[in-house]
Amino acid sequence: MTTPKVEIYTKWGCPYCVRAKALLDGKGVAYDEYDITLGGPKRTEMQDRVPGASTVPQILINDKPVGGSDDLHALDSAGKLDALLGR
């Protein structure tokens, strides 16, 4: 089974970002983090990839947006996150 590509767009000092990363870290999931605190091209990229996204974190698994921290925790609580992570 292949390891999924996990990406997370974050901002400095964002408690929801910390919470989402803690969940991924707790599962031993490697992810690419993009800090958009100061805006720039990664912020534009996030908005292109997740239309309508204005808050962080924005989490993508295999290029599919799964939402923010609450969405990630809801997937985990429902037992669906591990499947998305290839476990």
Domain membership of residue 11 (yes or no) is: yes
Quickly count: other Cβ atoms within 10 Å of residue 14's Cβ.
19
Number of domains making up the chain: 1
Q: Assess contact for 7 and 60: CB atoms under 8 A.
A: yes
The answer to whether residue 1 is domain-embedded is no
Domain range for 49 is 6-84
CATH classification of the domain holding 71: 3.40.30.10
Question: For 23-67, what is each residue's pLDDT tens digit?
Answer: 999 999 999 999 999 999 999 999 999 999 999 999 999 999 999
Evaluate if residue 1 carries a pLDDT over 70: no
